[in-house]
């Protein structure tokens, strides 16, 4: 292994590798390239991501039994994007693709657009919305899913639920997230 080699060998080998491979980008994202032209069609936009379940198992997508009656009851107030393919088998990659708006024609991401494009939160704010992230995956307040402090700095609020509620049973965390969504929506009426 290179990492176990003596320093006189390790440094040139690592340097040669770095020269030929992209170094991950860490910095501010690009600004939103345009401003909205009309008033929003909705007062609130709530994105719910759960890439750990097959979309075909959800009642709202035709799965049986009906597991999503509350979502179905929203009718035309809900925009369901349906079943989507995962970008990878890692939550971080799926979330990063969603946040950055990376298109299929930009893969492989040789220009690191997934780390540089304005993220979905920036677009929401440019359109006049508040942007909150309710994260119920990690036990710390640190950025998750390849987000950086630059992403968190742009949010109106970041709620790391497991960090805030470490003693809550894991099966209750999603219900806490629902309560937080309701609280935020009511506070921003």
Closest CA to 151 of 123, 110, 129, 178: 123
| Dihedral angle sign, alpha carbons of residues 139, 145, 149, 152 | negative
Distance (Å, rounded) from C-alpha 104 to C-alpha 109? 9
Q: Which 8-state DSSP code applies to residue 2?
A: G
Reading the chain (189 residues) residue by residue, the pLDDT tens digits are 666 778 887 788 877 776 676 667 889 999 999 989 998 888 999 888 766 667 788 888 898 888 889 888 988 888 887 777 666 767 778 788 888 988 888 888 888 899 999 999 999 999 999 999 998 887 887 878 888 899 988 899 999 998 888 899 888 888 899 999 999 999 987
Question: Does residue 108 have a cis peptide bond before it, meaning omega lies within 30 degrees of 0?
Answer: yes
Helices (H) and strands (E) in the chain, counts: 8, 2
Which of 116, 135, 128 shows the shortest CA–CA distance to 177? 135
The neighbouring-strand residues paired with 160 are 135
Residue with the two structure tokens 């304005």? 118
CA distances from 178 to 46, 48, 175, 182, 185 (A): 11, 10, 5, 6, 11
Both tokens assigned to 75: 């009718």
CA distance 96 to 13: 31
């Amino acid at each position: 292994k290179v990492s176990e080699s003596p320093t006189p060998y390790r440094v040139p080998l690592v340097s040669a590798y770095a020269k030929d491979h992209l170094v991950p980008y860490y910095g501010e994202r690009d600004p939103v390239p345009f401003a909205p032209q009309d008033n929003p069609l909705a007062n609130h936009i709530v994105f719910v991501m759960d890439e750990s379940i097959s979309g075909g198992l959800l009642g709202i997508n035709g799965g049986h039994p009906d597991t999503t009656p509350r979502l179905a009851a929203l009718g035309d107030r809900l925009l369901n994007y349906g079943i989507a393919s995962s970008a990878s088998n890692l939550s971080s990659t799926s979330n990063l693709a969603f946040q950055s708006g990376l298109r299929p024609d930009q893969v492989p991401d040789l220009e690191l657009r997934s780390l540089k494009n304005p993220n979905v939160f920036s677009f929401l704010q440019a359109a006049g919305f508040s942007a909150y992230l309710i994260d119920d995956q990690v036990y710390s307040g640190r950025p998750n899913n390849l987000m950086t402090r630059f992403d968190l700095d742009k949010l109106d609020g970041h709620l790391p639920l497991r960090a805030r509620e470490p003693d809550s049973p894991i099966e209750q965390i999603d219900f806490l997230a629902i309560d937080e969504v309701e609280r935020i929506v009511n506070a921003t009426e």
